[in-house]
Amino acid sequence: MQKTIAKEVVFEGKGLHSGKNCQVRLLPGYQNSGIVFKRIDIPEDNIIPADFKYISDSNLCTTLKSYNSDAKIFTVEHLLAAIKGNDIDNIFIECNSSEIPALDGSALEFDYIIKRAGIYSLENSFKKYIVIKKEITVKNTNGSSITLSPSNEFQLKCSIEFPDPIGQQSIEFKKPLTEVYKDVCDARTFCFFKDIKKMKDNGLAKGGSLNNAIVIKNNKILNEKGLRDTNEFVKHKVLDLIGDLALGNYNLLGSIEAICPGHKINRFILNKLFSSYDNYKLIDESQQSLTSKVRSGLITNNI
């Protein structure tokens, strides 16, 4: 069955890039409503579906924009990761400013908020899935790439490479996305101290601090308590990937291999995936042959 939250919940905080305070209200959705943002500080044309076709920018965060106005919502990826990680299909998100709060820089506090609201199953509804039919790859000039391929189980592999102290990190999962999310939800965003001035000169990172990001300077972690996990950097890239892929609207069934992923290439793979029906098939759990396999985290590719 499709799921939503059981009751309304409100939270607020400062945006990582805008530095502006934003109050967010999460409201239960209904069957097939999907994930929808609403800028309540804008009187009209203020609805923005959480759909990759509405992505207007992917520089250091994922930004969605209304087709009919200049209404935008920045830095949606961590909240979306928490929504999909809790297996939620339908939810309304009202915001009184342009950027989702950074909170602690991960999805952990969003997770607490969603669990406080509770999860509700919508009766007589069927969860929707996208099955990868053939291997597709996108590559960027910076060496990053993402490959989607058919698989009898959900798989995700991610590797990154940065200057020390990050170096090379890789991680691999063979379990349902909701279980992957549990392993990565507390991984925080990160940056190098040398890049902060450039970001601020470009109007970004105005709300950034050691309370909502890992900062690296001269090969050292500036955060007093250090890392939450030795693989926190690559885990955060997985978290971002989960959030960005949520903009594909469906629960993805297949294998993902990401090399040095970021918001831009996450967007590219969605564009490539949906560019041809040869790449995928849409199904739902009403199909008798699918139901048992979905519930166990498995699915055959010839459905």
Alpha-carbon distance 67 to 126, whole Å? Answer: 29
Give the pLDDT band (50/70/90) at residue 10.
Answer: very high
| pLDDT, mean over the chain | 94
What is the pTM assigned to this prediction? 0.94
pLDDT in tens, 134-160: 999 999 998 999 999 999 889 999 999
Q: What is the pLDDT of residue 52?
A: 98
Q: What is the pLDDT of residue 269?
A: 98
- Tell me which residue of 111, 113, 121 sits closest to 30, measured CA to CA: 121
State percent of the chain over pLDDT 90: 89
Alpha-carbon distance 288 to 78, whole Å? Answer: 34
Half-sphere exposure for 276 (CA within 13 Å, toward CB) = 7
Q: What is the pLDDT of residue 288?
A: 43
**Over 60: is that where the pLDDT of 293 sits?**
no
Q: What is the pLDDT of residue 287?
A: 72
Q: What is the pLDDT of residue 194?
A: 95
Q: 119: which DSSP letter?
A: E
**Over 70: is that where the pLDDT of 289 sits?**
no
Q: What is the pLDDT of residue 290?
A: 53
For range 15-43, the mean pLDDT: 96
Alpha-carbon dihedral angle through residues 245, 250, 252, 257, given to the nearest 10 degrees = -20
For range 1-14, the mean pLDDT: 97
Alpha-carbon dihedral angle through residues 269, 270, 276, 282, given to the nearest 10 degrees = 130
**Over 90: is that where the pLDDT of 227 sits?**
yes
Give the pLDDT band (50/70/90) at residue 104.
Answer: very high
pLDDT in tens, 191-225: 999 999 999 999 899 999 999 999 999 999 999 99
| Structural domains of the chain, ranges and CATH numbers in brackets | 1-119 (3.30.230.20), 127-184+227-293 (3.30.1700.10)
pLDDT in tens, 42-62: 998 999 999 999 999 999 999
**Over 80: is that where the pLDDT of 294 sits?**
no
pLDDT in tens, 238-259: 999 999 999 999 999 999 999 9
Pairing status of strand 35-39 against strand 91-95: parallel
**Over 80: is that where the pLDDT of 298 sits?**
no
State percent of the chain over pLDDT 70: 95
* Residue positions annotated with a catalytic role: 263
Q: What is the pLDDT of residue 301?
A: 47
